[in-house]
Structure 1
């Protein structure tokens, strides 16, 4: 049902919807500038780009917090609306109430500072020198803490920031899930490391990065990525961005790690496929927007882990890799499957991590972020705290800042509160995958036959097409028939790694 569909749509609703589409278009333009800065913009463009993004952020904030938006929302509070219309009003009201409490000059300052922070992060990482990034990171911590205090001075600041990325699963839920993962995965990781099983790794040596890029396009073609509405580029930190008409992916290549590039590409495909599956007729209103980051991450992790790291995927895709790289001609699908799922003891990099240790990476970031926002950790002390926690949770200690606290881009965006959604989304991916399989039958057989459209179409019908119509708990119930829980994920990884490592 269209957001406008009603026999007697209140004038206030139509005006609100028209106004919100303007806001959506401004935000989309800002996102495109961000994509350009990370992918295409010359290094010297930062001074102008920071002002451009600041201007668009201010304009979006001004539009959203206009008095008439509040008036329209007040008028619609008691109106007779359809379910879809109530969902649209709910989502716009949530955004309005948060934004209305934040001064415009603070919004502009945060936007300008994040644009300036990106090249500082790149420079610090390239030079392996956290001190290059530390001063602007300190500014961002202060700015985002001030931002949270404006929104709700009575709440924990980190809780307010977390709600920017996941407004409908509260921070207590996130903490319970992370605690469950700590309890379940740490002993499993210890058992894996104690195992005598040696997994195969046929992907050793040098793999030309240009050929890897061709292979990345192969995998996107295989999965059904729509290049008429997207493109693939490289970026220091892979990401996906866009809308249902233009959803772009980025990846990165390491000459010694071709499987990592493939998994990164498949991960970002999952994000883009969600975005492209949003209803086009609802572009510019909440029914045409994704349901926040837990759900978004569930789509990328489902494609990456449940599809891309499966045996049957490698049965299907290994020949394409062997055609591009004759040095792996003797590899078997089982060899490739083992290589894609090996638990490495020297696992320092989150985006290259296996499914088990990955969540300990998230725990490290979550705990450090909380300390920073709570004022319990000085920015200057981040590298040492980071290294200590890696040693505690992962049994390894980074030798430098580039592989330590500078490896992720998120803090340069001011994205404090983002990281927990990675684990929340991974948990949800397993729950959705089980619901998918219960509905369409043996998913492995679909992958073996190259029927990826069956998976994509089910996800579009049960997740993507709803946009932000439902809250996160409601959408989980709608798609899976049960409340959000970690049981499916724990069962999945326990079964998979018990079998792989003969535990």
Structure 2
């Protein structure tokens, strides 16, 4: 039956949007379960289940009735919120409708199988168990790009047009390249100065080669950290996974971390990182759940929240002045460790930094740039998937002066190439935006932000982030949201200023 009125058309948009979002969230729950609860033998059925959910989402998103409804609404008299909802649904409909059902099903099947093969490859410490799935994934994503825009650069198309949770529309690849160029220029000499400084930080204050930080006590400690920053436990589960993540909605977030019994910092910084994602989900409008106004603005914006709480809260001396007594309660053997020493430990710039999620704020971005360069080369057929381990190791040596000795230490450390392309740009976008948001917040708040962190009275900070970022959902385009929140376009300048001030002080650089 043909759509008769704008009112009827708008209701169809809302109904289809609800179904699409529900299916995506259910798929995320399936992913959470596969890493946290599913028995080891469940992988074959789980791959099929997730493929079915993704296929159903695609078909709701490309339904002819939705296309007809969007056409009816082309010239309709809508309020600003309705216009934003229609704009975002139309954007995803336009992209998704260009993808054949069989290609979408194939991508979903490969994603599910690839994630399980990554876990198997990690267990075996062998890239060859994962590489063929990576090659398949890149090939089908090239087909995806060609269907969406056959005349565009395929890597730029997949960056700018990707739909769903992992999409980041409205931040151009040109902006990404400009930010990466700034970071290469500014961070490499700063890292070199630090390595040559000879300053001796308390790098081992929260670590021990004896493995004395048992996982059970670390779980309690990390829950205490989440209590300190104000996690809403009524809307959150907190578990262990091979790679930390947080998926959810304003009502229900599944959050994970992982533990190292020789070092407290990996879990604590990872937990605070995932808390940032969780805070974003909790800050979205409950009333708008099921519409774009109740959805995050993109993966780069999402990462700005995780990097904010990881770095601009969790890596501050003020936070450790508050939290170090709690650490001592859980691990009395650290009774002589001061807040300053803990601050130095979580901010050390490593010379042998192989693992991205354990990286400091400076070398972290060389990890991101390395991965992005490999992605682009593979996407443009300049390399093959079986060349990745050697190329990865060469780039690590060029950028950071170190060479991984195993695949797990190198190209197998992240699962992202099983599901997302581009897989890593959002982390650096998020880091530079976190610094920009921090600067804007400090200018606007009539409170001492460091004192708020020192007292772990984070209400004003979270309220500012909710008001300026979370609560808008997708009302604004991503570039507009950055300007609304900070008064400026996205820039790496605040991040460069922040790390120079922080690390030149830490390492006594002139």
Q: Secondary structure at the match of 1:232?
A: strand
Q: Does 1:228 align with 2:234?
A: yes
**TM-superposition CA deviations, 1:68-92 (whole Å, max 9, x none):** 1111111111111111111111100
Q: Secondary structure at the match of 1:309?
A: coil
Q: Secondary structure at the match of 1:77?
A: helix
Question: How far has the Cα of 1:418 moved from its partner?
Answer: 2.7
d(CA) in 2 for partners of 1:243, 1:81: 26
Find the counterpart in structure 1 of residue 56 from structure 2: 59
Find the counterpart in structure 2 of residue 430 from structure 1: 435
Contact 1:162–1:418 (8 Å) recurs in 2: no
Q: Secondary structure at the match of 1:256?
A: coil
**TM-superposition CA deviations, 1:300-345 (whole Å, max 9, x none):** 0010001000000000000100100111100110000000100010
Find the counterpart in structure 1 of residue 37 from structure 2: 40
**TM-superposition CA deviations, 1:378-420 (whole Å, max 9, x none):** 111000000000001111100010110000010122x111311
Find the counterpart in structure 1 of residue 221 from structure 2: 215
Contact 1:43–1:119 (8 Å) recurs in 2: no
CA RMSD of aligned residues (A): 1.1
When the two structures are aligned, how many residues end up with a matched partner? 495
Find the counterpart in structure 1 of residue 421 from structure 2: 416
Unaligned ranges ≥5, structure 2: none
d(CA) in 1 for partners of 2:377, 2:437: 33
Contact 2:197–2:507 (8 Å) recurs in 1: yes
Give the alignment of 1:81-120 within 5 angstroms: 81-120=78-117
Deviating beyond 4 angstroms after TM superposition, the runs of 4 or more aligned structure 1 residues are none
Question: How far has the Cα of 1:100 moved from its partner?
Answer: 0.3
Find the counterpart in structure 1 of residue 491 from structure 2: 485
Contact 2:6–2:72 (8 Å) recurs in 1: no
Find the counterpart in structure 1 of residue 156 from structure 2: 159
- From 248, 255, 263, the equivalent of 1:257 is 263
d(CA) in 2 for partners of 1:453, 1:144: 42
Q: Secondary structure at the match of 1:241?
A: strand
Give the alignment of 1:423-462 within 5 angstroms: 423-440=428-445, 441-462=447-468
d(CA) in 1 for partners of 2:32, 2:293: 24
Question: How far has the Cα of 1:9 moved from its partner?
Answer: 6.8
Deviates more, 1:125-134 or 1:278-287: 125-134
Find the counterpart in structure 2 of residue 31 from structure 1: 28
Find the counterpart in structure 1 of residue 171 from structure 2: 169
Find the counterpart in structure 2 of residue 136 from structure 1: 133
- From 403, 408, 414, the equivalent of 1:402 is 408
Contact 1:137–1:411 (8 Å) recurs in 2: yes
- From 337, 351, 375, the equivalent of 2:343 is 337
Contact 1:162–1:417 (8 Å) recurs in 2: yes
Unaligned ranges ≥5, structure 1: 1-7
Q: Does 1:194 align with 2:196?
A: yes
Q: Does 1:327 align with 2:345?
A: no
Q: Secondary structure at the match of 1:282?
A: coil
Q: Secondary structure at the match of 2:287?
A: helix
Deviates more, 1:112-121 or 1:255-264: 112-121
Contact 1:21–1:285 (8 Å) recurs in 2: yes
Question: How far has the Cα of 1:19 moved from its partner?
Answer: 2.1
d(CA) in 1 for partners of 2:16, 2:345: 51
d(CA) in 1 for partners of 2:75, 2:226: 47
Question: How far has the Cα of 1:424 moved from its partner?
Answer: 0.7
d(CA) in 1 for partners of 2:109, 2:425: 25
